[in-house]
Structure 1
Amino acid sequence: MKREHRKKTRDLNYSHYLHPRWWPTWLGLGIMWLIAHLPLRWQWAIGRLTGELAWRLLPRRRHITEVNIGLCFPDLSPDEQRALVRKSFRANGIGMMEIGLGWFRKMADLSDITTVHGLDHLNRALEGGKGVLLVGGHYSTLEMGGSLATEEMNADVMQRDHNNPLMNAVMTRSRESRYGAVLDAKDLRGLLKRLRMNRAVWYATDQDYGRKGIVFAPFFDIPTGTITATSRIAERSGCAVMPFSHFRREDRPGYDIYFHPALEDFPSGDELADATRVNRTIEQEIRRHPDQYLWMHRRFKTRPDPDDPDLYGKQGKRRRRSKRRD
């Protein structure tokens, strides 16, 4: 039975998850549901506390975040970098609470505290009739940003399935209620099909996927393994490629959704130049709210030279210390 559930990661029938081994997951989902129905300020407060606890109790993730922020914001003082690391954990703690908000609440309830910027860019790009690839980043508002945007547009989404089949069922069913299609992250054929139907498809490119199908394009002036699939998708489909971002307001509860003008002359025929442009658009958006990015991910894990020291290991620590002394 265990093997059967592991294979069926897209088994969305809740009746298949009644065995006692799923009860802890159901309990966690119940807590998420309860928090999602609290006032937004309370949710954010719980999220900040969760992030603070994670900052204190997860030294490995804290170290990864410290490395990333140290590399990307070298002009900040050590105290400023430490403050940004801590603030990032709090922002991502709020993001964890927003997962339940995105899964279990009606987004129309939040329409009065959400502002959508540049929707005309999306509508204009769809007039081309070949679809739109919404290129986004892994911001802490990942779940909320897409859910809120579906109140203003018809779109599809690509997702990496959750390792827990029950969590995956809840996540996928929730997204299917908002998006037209929920595609597997590796389903390139399905993506191209949706683009041919003149759909907008949300697609995130800013993670380290290893050495296959990448170029090393600058990201915060660091040669970073960046997938070239974006160029190939645009070339094969003729779709528009549009930067898409979303952030939580800092002064009051609320959200901002941004659709930016589609990239011109994309693809250019130069995969490195295209990857550089994509990275630059994501970097520009990160700089709006640096704490609201997923810095806990080892974005610089794959190095241009396989013999380069691991930036996140002991050698990486020694390298950064020597730079500070210099």
Structure 2
Amino acid sequence: MTDFAARLLYIFVASLTRMPWSWLMRMGDAMAAAMRMLDVRESRVARRNLEIAYPQLPADERNRMHRAILRATARQTFETMRLWTRPHAQNLALIRENHGVDLFDAAVAAGKGLIVAAPHYGNWELLNQWLAAKTPISILYRPPQSAVGEAFLRIVRADDGDRVTQIRAEGPAVRQLWKLMKVGGVTGILPDQQPKAGDGEFAPFFGRQALTMTLLNRLAERSGAAVLFAYCERLGEGPQFALRIEPAPPAIASHDPREGVAALNAAVERIARRDPAQYQWTYKRYTLRPPDSGETNPYRDLETH
């Protein structure tokens, strides 16, 4: 029944997104207005994150950023649904600029393993499709709580040539990634998700300590694999993107995991600052606080809103 429900969901999404892009974007704008008016969870979390990350800005400027973030977030919902349910070749034609592809090609050709760090910036689902078109890739992901949701993701992230392997971010994942790096494989990791307590190190992110995964640092340091940052950045109002691939700072593979996660966060922050509206500010990035810091969960009051 789970797979059947996921198929029905896919049919519904595919039917909905047959509308013209302009209509989908208007629907996104209407959703953003409703999110703001009702002050839903995503709206409250985004506002709190802006208070944490941009405390020096006047309240009216943060309010402007808040509106832009909700608009981009809602539009991305419909944008991604369309990308999920259309042929990949058709989607990839929306990438109008390519930057740093030579870095990617060289890293793959070297055969020493490649870690693609893909922050939650722009449209990471389009990036996944571009990566799969270039090379077989294993994608580390955090499964949704819903079994139907996970089955749906397996459908929409599949490709025609079975070049995408989805690895759940759980215990066995680490062993799978080690084996992949040993044979010169390519993996994609979302580096800005908060790990479980004990699975990371604290490092500054927009001026506040954030628990950050050490997995990427350990993989890079022990395997010698190359690390590249990659993202598909929206261009203007239309459905067009710029693919950007950039080298990671050398410190990301440091023997000291604290230095490694600090370099990782600095790189993600630099990307997010390019256009803050395109970053995922609706995620609770600072829930866990450093031991003995005296700090409390900054979202606690939002949960009882």
The answer to whether the superposition gives a TM-score over 0.5 is yes
* Cα separation, 2, equivalents of 1:47 and 1:201: 32
Map 1:1-326 onto structure 2 (within 5 A): 14=3, 17=4, 22=5, 28-114=9-95, 115-139=97-121, 141-177=123-159, 179-186=163-170, 187-264=173-250, 266-305=252-291, 307-314=294-301
- Whole-Å Cα distance in 1 between the matches of residues 9 and 83 of structure 2? 15
Q: Structure 2 stretches of 5 or more lacking a match? A: none
CA apart distance, 1:55: 2.4
8 A Cα contact 1:125 1:262, kept in partner? no
8 A contact 2:252–2:261 mirrored in 1: no
Q: Is the 8 A contact 1:67 1:312 kept in 2?
A: yes
Structure 2 match to 1:321? none
Look up the match of 1:8: none
Unaligned runs of 5+ residues in structure 1 are: 6-10, 316-326
RMSD of aligned Cα (Å): 2.4
CA shift in 2, pair 1:266/1:67, >3 Å = closer
Counterpart residue type for residue 73 of structure 1: Y
Which has the higher Rg, Structure 1 or Structure 2? 1
CA distance in 2, matches of 1:61, 1:262: 30
Identity %: 24
Quote the Cα distance in structure 1 between the aligned partners of 2:123 and 2:104.
20
Q: Identify if the C-alpha distance between structure 1 residues 265 and 87 changes in structure 2 by more than 3 Å, giving closer, same or farther.
A: closer
Q: Could you give the per-residue CA deviations for residues 223-263 of structure 1, whole angstroms, max 9, x where no partner exists?
A: 11112111111133221111112222224320112111243
Instruction: Label 1:105 to 1:207 Cα distance change in 2 as closer, same or farther (>3 A).
Output: same
Per-residue deviation, residues 262-316 of structure 1 (Å, max 9, x unmatched): 433542211111111111111111111101111111111111135413322349x
| Residue 128 (structure 1) shift | 3.1
Secondary structure of the equivalent of 1:74? coil
Distance 1:205-1:196 versus aligned 2 partners, 3 A rule = same
Partner deviation per Cα, 1:194-249 (whole Å, 9 max, x = no partner): 22232221101212223212211111121111121111111332211111122222
1:91 touches 1:140 (CA, 8 Å); kept in 2?
no
Q: How far off its partner does 1:153 sit?
A: 4.2
